[in-house]
Structure formats: structure tokens, C-alpha cells
Structure 1
Amino acid sequence: MFTLSILDQSPILSGDTAQDALNRTIELAQVAERLGFKRFWVSEHHQSKEVAGSSPEVLVSHILAKTEKIIVGSGGVMLTHYSPYKVAENFHVLANLAPGRVDLGIGKAPGGLPQSTKALQYNGLSNPEDFNDRLKQLIRYINKQDELSVEPATRIAPEVILLGGSVSSAKFAAEQKIPYVFAQFINGNEEQLIEAAKLYKAIYPTGIFMVGAAVIAAATEDEAERLAKDTDLYRVYLETGEKFTLTNFESAERFGKESGKTYRVERVPSPAIYGTIDKIEKHFTLFQNYGVDEIIVHNPVLEKEARLTSIELISQLNAVTQS
């Protein structure tokens, strides 16, 4: 059995409105709680017509009010856009509303296209180069290690967790003594996952190393393969050496054009794990063998009933029960 959680990106399915997508996320959180998943996270995306979650802290608040026991968090807040102090304030409020049930997942990616990134900066606030400093400052605020206090004070602080997809980010999380999530659903390189887990545990043996994996479970192998058909990724390489991963070719092309730089787009085979529950279990066992403590299940299925069926099947492998 495995410790399992869920990351939901509030996809806007065919024929849906954004309101439909957000309501479905609330319903899925309630299902996740009933099925015994440990955490339920929501993501941050900007300028997207495919997903509805642009403000995770707002959505987290609503989900906390609609559930009773499951831990709810951001997967994650894109800290390059924001003041660490304001992020700490937001999550202190959430931690007071639901003590012991709030995760503060932090990411480095822009979470959107260049135009929305520029709009979020407004006064030049966004700077990916100072991300590590921002995260260190945020940790100090949350852990009450800064002379400047964050109010309201918390009885149980939110858990700060770093999300990334590289060995270097895993190393940084270990050095800061915080949990880490390797985003396998973005970077499917198995060797890098293994190296990241090994290095993290070498530096921080008691730390929690998680993997965020795109997982599709179905009653038959053929059905799972059909659902996984359109889950390839598209990577944009800029002339500056930067690279960004998107879920469809149109968004990747738009990203390249909005960047104003020379670029190329490369199709990346889907990192999704798909199949019957027996096949999924074998993959999860591999993760455990790599040193993974917890699996965050990202559900890329874009059909309503099949999305729920996949989560229900995966829950059969869940070792966690909410008490």
C-alpha cells in the first residue's frame, strides 16, 4: 500500500464553463477525502483557457470549508510573482481557519505565458533569479524566525513544500529541511528522479520526498491507452537557454512568440503512467524503491466519468485513511 494524495488542475472539459471546472474540483476534493487520500492540492495557472485555477489560495479556502479532514494545499504558489510576506499572510489566515490542514506548496515556474507573467510583475517584482532567496525568506516568516512577525499568528503553521523537477531543486529543499515534490508529470526522466531522491535523502534523511505523477487507471489496458492518447507535452526552448513545458502545441507556440526571442518547440512523449490497477501498482512500487515517501496523483484524464473512475481505482492502493 502507498501514501497517496491528489493534485487537481481544474481542467475545463469540453462543453464546460470555468465555474463547472471549479465545482468539479470541489466535488473531487470531497471524493478524495472519502476515499482516504492524504492531501488535495490545487495548481496555479495564468492566461489559460484549459484550466480554471489561477488563484490557489482562494480555491484552497473554499475547499477547506467544503471538507472536514483532508489536508488541502497549493500545488503550488508561483513565488517568483509574489512577496514572501504576503504569501505568508495568506497562508497564516488559512492555517487559522483550518489548523493542521494546510500545505503551502511553492513552485518556481511562471505558471503562464509571457504576457501574463509581465502583467503579474507590474512593478518588476517577478525575478526567477532570486527564487531561492524568496523561499528562504518565506520559510523564515512561516517558522517565526524573522524579526518581522506575520499576523495573524498560527497555532499550527502551514507546511512549506517545494515543488520542482530537477536534482538541484531537490538538493535545495533538503538543505532547507522542507519536503520536496519531484514533478514527474513534467519531467519524466527516471534517472533524474532517482538521482534527486538519492541526493535529497543523503542530505535530509528524515525529510519527505514525494513524486507528482500523471496517473491514468482504467478497467482495461486498451481503455487506459485511449485515455492517455493526447497527454504528450510540448517543450519550448528559448535562445537564452531557458525551457518551459506546456500541455499543447498551440500554447507552446504562443509562449515562444510572446517571449520575443528565438525559440523552438519540441514534442515530448507523455510521462503519464497508465493501465489497469495492477500495472499502476507496479509503477508505484518502483517509486517506493527509489526512496519516494508519498505519491501525488495528477489526473490528466479529460472525460468526466473516466476522471472519477481513475481516481476510484487508484484509491484501492491507498494506505492512508482519514480518521
Structure 2
Amino acid sequence: MTIKIGILDQSIVFPGQTPGEALGNTVKLARLAETLGYERFWVSEHHDSSQFAGSSPEVLIAHLLAHTNSIKIGSGGVMLQHYSPYKVAENFNLLASLAPGRIDLGIGRAPGGLPRSTKALQPAEDTRKLEEKLNELEQFLLGPAKDEHPLAGLKATPLPERPAEIYILGTSVSSAEIAAERGLPYVFALFINNDPEAAREAFHTYRTKYNTARKSEPRTILALSVIAADTEVEAANIAGDLKSVRVTLASGKTINVGSVEQAEEFARQAGESYTAEVRDADITKGTKETVRKRILELKAQYGVSEFIFTTVVSDYEKRVRSFTLLKEALEELAV
């Protein structure tokens, strides 16, 4: 059995690090992923944060392409609701022209930051829904705007021979529906929303409503946090006591953050009252035998065809060891 695996790196600025050092580790990790034989390497988008250095996936992707040779590089993901679909298409058409067949365009629905940065990023006059922007983005990635578009004939040049492949990232049924309706691959982020029932319902919805008009097969990917170490004790010590906090604002909007303090700040910037549900973070941790067992259980539970792994390991060498052990664990399945 062969399982495709990739890495999502969030360019976390751990205590004692500078943003430059965090980004330097992202570059080294991408090169390691290529050497080890990972399928793809994605980077995230976060704004107005001292904890994350990756605010512009497109810029970081270009840099990573220059430091790797063959591994697929992509966004996990671009928060399309903030931007002009035309400009996003231009960026990724240029990347796909520079590195044909190597570019993934993951589209996320989370804001990537607190309400203050969302206000700074989104033009007040642009009230289009994500679905509308996604329709336009798909069109511009493939060619000129169609006749019914207000700017018919407009092209997001350069038009590459092999456009970036779009993935829909999410943590709910609504994101699964968006992916299914368009016949696009769907990625559920279990490391953000660790409710197994939510994941099960999202994947069921995706498969049930999948649009086969494009003559492609449904592609399901599970993104999860993993720590592999040489002993169970070491893995547990690295993981520590991490939490996940689900915030529900008075307006009904929900979002997942990493701490109660972040929940309080999110609600303060939104100007709304809120409730917060604190959960233990879902981390697949242990020796390579332990993590392999759980990965296979999750594969069977959700019927996914691929995994994207992220990690919260602050020590870079231990992070390298974790991803190395993880690759070894899954390679042994094919023997």
C-alpha cells in the first residue's frame, strides 16, 4: 500500500527565534521534504501575527521553487475572500509558468488573522461571496474571461501550459459543498477542527454531492498534526499540553484559535460577545509504529486518499527527525 503524503509548514516563530529564522527553517524543511520523497510542500497564510512569519504564500512559494527542483509547492491556503481573483490568478499563472506541473493553489475560507487584519485586507466595496470569487478565479486560471463576464476577453497572463491545481481547504460541511460542486479536491483540516463527527460529515457530503461533470474522481485529503519521535515519552514531552479553542461569536460566526487569549482578542476586535470551547489539541504522536497505526485508522475511518502533515515541534532538528520517521513509517507499508 502506498499513501501520498505532504507537509504543511506554518513558518511558526517559536520563542527565541526571529521571523527570518523561522522562514529559513521553512526553506530547509522544503528541501528535506523533497529529499525524503514527500509529494508536496505547502505554506500557510497568517496576518498581523508575531507567531507566524508567512503572510504572503505567493512570495514564499516563489522562493521555495528556487531552492527545490521537483517537489510540488503550494499554498495551504490563499484566503481568497481578501483578494481580487484576477490578481491571485496572475500570481499563480506566473508561478505555474516558472515551474510547470509543480504548483498547487489551496484556497482557504478562514480569515488567516483577527478582524483587524481582515478589515485591512478586504476592500469595503467588494461584497462578493467566496463562491463567486472562486468561479472567477477558475476562469482566469484557464483562459480569458467569458462573454458573460463584465470584462470579457481579459486574460491573467502569462497563461501557463499547466495551470496551478486548485484544492479547497476547510473544516466544515460548507467547504466540502464548495469543493464537491466544482469537482475539486477537498482537504479537511483535522488539526484545526478536531471534531471527528464534523470531519465524517464533511467527507460524506463531499462524496455525495461531488460533481462528476469534469470526469474526475473525488480526491479527499486529511490534514493533521503529527509528532513522531524515537520513544513515546519523547513525543509526549514535545507535544506538551496544547489546546484548541473554538470561538462562537454572538452573530453565529465560528472560528478556531490556539488559546483563550486569542479567543478574547478575536471577540474584542469583532466587537461581539462570545463563547469559547476549549479542547485538547488533536496531535498524532508517538513512535513511528504508533503514528503509522493511527494514520491507517484515520485512512479507514474517513476513506481519504492522501495526508498533509503539519507539526508544532519547536526544535528544528527534532522536526527533521519527526518528518524522517514519519516517511519511514509509511514507506514500510509498501515493502
**TM-score category, normalised to shorter length:** over 0.9
Query: Which residue number corresponds to residue 149 of structure 2?
Result: none
Query: Which residue number corresponds to residue 270 of structure 2?
Result: 259
Larger displacement relative to structure 2 (292-301 or 67-76) = 292-301
Q: Deviations over 1:26-77 (max 9, x none)?
A: 0000000000000000000001111100000000000001000000000000
Over 3 Å counting, the alpha-carbon distance change for 1:250 and 1:315 in structure 2 is same
Larger displacement relative to structure 2 (134-143 or 33-42) = 134-143
CA distance in 2, matches of 1:130, 1:171: 14
CA positional deviation for 1:228: 1.6
Structure 2: state its 5+ residue gaps.
Answer: 147-153
Query: Which residue number corresponds to residue 16 of structure 1?
Result: 17
Task: Report the count of equivalent residues.
Answer: 318
- Aligned match of 1:189 in 178, 189, 195? 195
CA positional deviation for 1:203: 3.7
Instruction: Provide TM-score, normalisation by structure 2.
Output: 0.90
Contact 2:25 2:316 in 1 (8 A): no
CA distance in 2, matches of 1:317, 1:87: 37
Query: Which residue number corresponds to residue 269 of structure 1?
Result: 280
- The alignment status of 1:238 with 2:249, answered yes or no, reads yes
Over 3 Å counting, the alpha-carbon distance change for 1:199 and 1:123 in structure 2 is closer
CA distance in 1, matches of 2:277, 2:178: 28
Query: Which residue number corresponds to residue 312 of structure 2?
Result: 300
Query: Which residue number corresponds to residue 327 of structure 2?
Result: 315
Structure 1: state its 5+ residue gaps.
Answer: none
CA distance in 1, matches of 2:174, 2:275: 25
Output the amino acid matched with 1:222: V
Aligned-partner SS, 1:295: strand
Instruction: Provide TM-score, normalisation by structure 1.
Output: 0.94
CA distance in 2, matches of 1:233, 1:202: 29
Q: How does 1:206-225 map to 2 (within 5 A)?
A: 206-225=217-236
Larger displacement relative to structure 2 (164-173 or 144-153) = 144-153
Question: Which stretches of structure 1, 4 residues or longer, exceed 6 Å deviation after superposition?
Answer: none
Aligned-partner SS, 2:41: strand
CA distance in 2, matches of 1:123, 1:240: 19
Q: How does 1:1-323 map to 2 (within 5 A)?
A: 1-125=2-126, 127=127, 130-144=129-143, 146-147=145-146, 148-204=154-210, 206-289=217-300, 290-318=302-330
CA distance in 1, matches of 2:269, 2:305: 39
- Where relative contact order (Cα < 8 A, 6+ residues apart) is larger, the structure is 1
CA positional deviation for 1:105: 0.5
CA distance in 1, matches of 2:322, 2:331: 17
CA distance in 2, matches of 1:185, 1:102: 23
Larger displacement relative to structure 2 (138-147 or 16-25) = 138-147
CA positional deviation for 1:167: 2.1
Contact 1:2 1:284 in 2 (8 A): no
Contact 1:4 1:294 in 2 (8 A): yes
CA positional deviation for 1:110: 0.6
* Fraction of identical pairs, as percent: 45
